[in-house]
Amino acid sequence: MKETAMNTLVQEIQTYLPTPSIPALELPPLACDSHVHVFGPRPKFPYAHERKSTPRDAPKEALYALHSQLGIERCVIVQSITHGYDNNAVEDAIAHGGGRYLGVALVRPSVSQQELRRLADAGFRGVRFNFMRHIDAGADIRSVLALTPKLADVGMHLQVHFESSLVHELGAELKRSAVPVVIDHMGRVDARLGAEHEDFQALMKLLDDENFYVKVSGIDRVDAHAELTERYRRGVVLARALVERFSDRVVWGTDWPHPNHTHIPDDGVLVDALSEIAPSEELLHKLLVRNPQSLYRFDSA
């Protein structure tokens, strides 16, 4: 390993604000943050050796405290590449979450049906696969699709995280999934290119298929270089377009604690942006309450 890579692994990176701003927007009861991660605490939950960087611990206690401040009552924790295929940190956070926390696991396509059943019983509602340049995908799309009948057997869905340009080739393949498909972070489109760009238009066309959901998380990622005063304006425009057109198949998340980012977002700002992303009481309720309940099934936790 080169010296620069070694330094990246040794140096711990702060990825979240310990004291984010308090949002002005009051969220509805049972509001759900549908995309977060937990890191550590170490050494109880060690980081994966193959990780690309070393974030500081962001344990379940910090997550619970954040949600208490923001007025969020439910949550879906997505397994991070920081812990690799060891889902124990997420499983622990689910177990201590009082039925309000569920999960999405990282698995290999060769995962056994027995392990999928165990994860489902522990509160995992889906599995995630990455198709990003900065992340090793670990599988090709055919292997992933071959897994989906097994996911159907245990009541899990498929979650995918991909480069925006891949929507054109992956979209057609993902239509063959035997389970619902959840697309991360608005397909990682570049908000600076606007709603008419071919990648965003392909995402919209894909979502015309009712087997697809999209997370309107990541306004801070798709518009990551916006000036602070703009408050991710271009990302908000795209998120609102998705919420208004696909109101029954959108969910939202903070993406706390914001790993692999250009900056550390203020979670209070991300919550307040919801007043523009879902500008009516009905849209906000669908985005934060009804749709997460339907997709993740909290009552069966």
Q: Would you say 261 and 43 are in contact if contact means Cβ atoms under 8 Å apart? A: no
Q: Cα(38)–Cα(162) distance, rounded to whole angstroms?
A: 21
- The answer to whether the Cα torsion of 90, 94, 100, 105 is positive or negative is positive
The DSSP secondary-structure symbol of 107 reads -
Q: How far, CA to CA in Å, does 124 sit from each of 28, 211, 293?
A: 24, 19, 14
Q: Is 135 helix (H, G, I), strand (E, B) or coil?
A: coil
- Judge whether 255 counts as a catalytic residue: yes
Q: Which residue has the tokens 């979670």?
A: 267
Looking at residue 199, its amino acid is: D
Structure tokens at 145: 């699709």
The number of beta carbons lying within 10 Å of the beta carbon of residue 100 is: 16
Q: How far is CA 126 from the centre of its chain?
A: 11
Four-residue CA torsion sign, 9, 11, 12, 17: negative
Neighbours of 220 (CB within 10 A): 25
Q: Which one of 220, 223, 255, 266 is the catalytic residue?
A: 255
Question: In the structure encoding, which two tokens stand for residue 99, read together?
Answer: 């039925």
How far is the first Cα of the chain from the last one, in angstroms, to the nearest whole number?
A: 43
Q: Which residues are catalytic?
A: 255
